[in-house]
Amino acid sequence: MPLNPSVAKSHVLHRALAYEPQKIVSGSGISFTLESGKIVYDASAGPSVSVLGHHQPEVTQAIIEQLDKIAYVYSGSRHTCEAAESLATEILKDAPGGLVKAIFVNSGSEATDAALKLATQYFCEVGQPKRTNFIARKQSYHGNTLGALSVSGHESRRAYYQPWISNNVSFVDPCYSYRAKGLSESNEQYVERLKLQLEDEFLRLGPDTVAAFVAETVSGTTLGCVPPVPGYFKAVREICDKYGALLILDEIMCGMGKTGTMHAWEQEGISGPDIQMIGKALGGGFVPLSGVLLNRKVFDGLARGTMVLAHGHTFQAHPTACAAALAVQKIIKRENILEQVVRMGDFLETELNEEIGHLAHVGDIRGRGLFWAVEFMRDPNTKTPFLAEHNFSNRIVEVAAELGLNILGNLGKTGKIDVELVILAPPYIVKEDE
Ligand code: PLP
């Protein structure tokens, strides 16, 4: 129901300036209820967030207990709280991939900014201050703050803010086999081509000026749940190691269980990243929380110097958010929910292929675990895409909403390749009949 913004009733400035969004009044399990009384199945868990659904008494209880103990702790240098300490211990138990330290912030974008700053500070502390360049990927998204946007190859989100965006970032091609792998090219040849391109970029910049390569392990909104071609991240890790740069993996959207393992990189045959961002499923949306994980090398490097992080936020490691996330992570572990993610992911894959795989404009169905996308093509046989102005995926999202299904559409013009897709990332607790 388009409205002229000047007559919109809400005092909240919504993202959609031209119309008022519908009010959600309650939620339970994987569905939520609109003000009109309509019940909507949340097949994308918001933007891939509400992994335990929209109401979880155990998490509510953990939040209340935390508020009864202490509402707010300033996690600057003098204080911390039990909830943050326990959450970090829970996530980093057994040092997955060598990750040993966690910083908790409020949003994914803050986590990306923190990761970029920590990488920069690390190289200052280890005596390589010239390493200020970052290499990221085209058609990528790592957040909306200006640092995060600087490493995001997302044309329409960057467009207005170019004067604020860092010039220290260059972009290479993403690993996107459906559209970018040559017809006669094998996976190995494709990986080799991307590896050479990355290496060329290191050499062009001067390898001793590169701080890190930044990528999502499984690309989320910009390309649509694209798992990397086997061997891709091994090749990337090799190049980073060869030139002494850090590997920063963004698992804000694809991580914390969504692909069937706690961390998506566990399926890539690499030892792990140097720095990793997490968010969304970390706290399941009960209270905002994201984070940055560091491996031993990065922590030791940082600790060599002033012993102070030149970074922090008033609300970092908020006790209520950490208590909620701790409850979420404990439920995921206790109930073996990742096994369910794998089983339901297989079910979703089969259903998508059987039910819609044959339809006229379905080009590709891809994903992992409970993180799936359908990419639409004007002509799937010739891989002729819809153009952004066809607005195809947003029309699908609207029709689905009318039918009572919430799914995510694409993020507008993200780069040269027009990608029309929808994402299904249902809560981990979803059942077959749902
Ligand atoms: N990185 C990725 C991969 C994301 O998908 C997002 C959000 O969609 C972000 C970073 C930014 O997170 P936030 O919206 O919490 O700032």
CA atoms of 100 and 97, how far apart (whole Å): 9
- SS3 call for 282: helix
Q: Which residue has the higher pLDDT, 285 or 17?
A: 285
Tell me what pLDDT residue 4 has: 57
Contact assessment for residue 386 and residue 378, using Cβ atoms and an 8 Å cutoff: yes
Give the atom of ligand 1 at the shortest distance from the alpha carbon of 216. 3
User: What is the mean predicted confidence (pLDDT) over 44-69?
Assistant: 98
Give the Å distances, CA to CA, from 310 to 120, 220, 306: 11, 30, 9
> Lowest mean pLDDT: which of 253-262, 300-309, 348-357, 398-407?
300-309
Q: Is the distance from the beta carbon of residue 285 to the nearest atom of ligand 1 less than 6 Å?
A: no
> DSSP characters for 38-85?
-EEEETTHHHHT-TT-S--HHHHHHHHHHHHH-S---TTTT---HHHH
> DSSP characters for 126-179?
TT-TT--EEEEEBS----SSHHHHHT-B-HHHHGGGGGGS-SSEEEE----HHH
Q: What spacing in Å lies between the alpha carbon of 164 and ligand 1's midpoint?
A: 19
Q: pTM for this one?
A: 0.97
- Residue-range domain boundaries for the chain: 5-56+336-424, 61-334
Greatest Cα-to-Cα distance within the chain, rounded to the nearest angstrom: 63
Residue 305 tokens read as: 């110097």
Q: What spacing in Å lies between the alpha carbon of 410 and ligand 1's midpoint?
A: 14
Give the atom of ligand 1 at the shortest distance from the alpha carbon of 143. 11
133-137/169-172 β-pairing: parallel
Q: Residue whose CA is closest, atom 14 of ligand 1? A: 108
What class is the 5-56+336-424 domain?
alpha beta
CB atoms within 10 A of CB 315: 16
pLDDT bracket for residue 3 (50, 70, 90): low
- Please give the angle made by the CA atoms of 173, 175 and 179, to the nearest 5 degrees: 90
Give Rg (Cα) of the chain.
21
pLDDT bracket for residue 5 (50, 70, 90): low
61-334 has CATH 3.10.290.10 classification: no
Please, which residues have CB within 8 angstroms of residue 339's CB and are 6 or more apart in sequence?
none
Span 222-268, pLDDT tens digits: 999 999 999 999 999 999 999 999 999 999 999 999 999 999 999 99
ipTM associated with this complex: 0.99
Find where tokens 């017809």 sit: 183
Span 113-140, pLDDT tens digits: 999 999 999 999 999 999 999 999 999 9
Span 165-205, pLDDT tens digits: 999 999 999 999 999 999 999 999 999 999 999 999 999 99
Amino acid code (one letter) for 60: T
**Average pLDDT of the chain, as a whole number:** 95
Please, which residues have CB within 8 angstroms of residue 188's CB and are 6 or more apart in sequence?
231
Kindly state the percentage of the chain with pLDDT values over 90.
Answer: 89
Contact assessment for residue 77 and residue 323, using Cβ atoms and an 8 Å cutoff: no
Q: Is the distance from the beta carbon of residue 288 to the nearest atom of ligand 1 less than 6 Å?
A: no
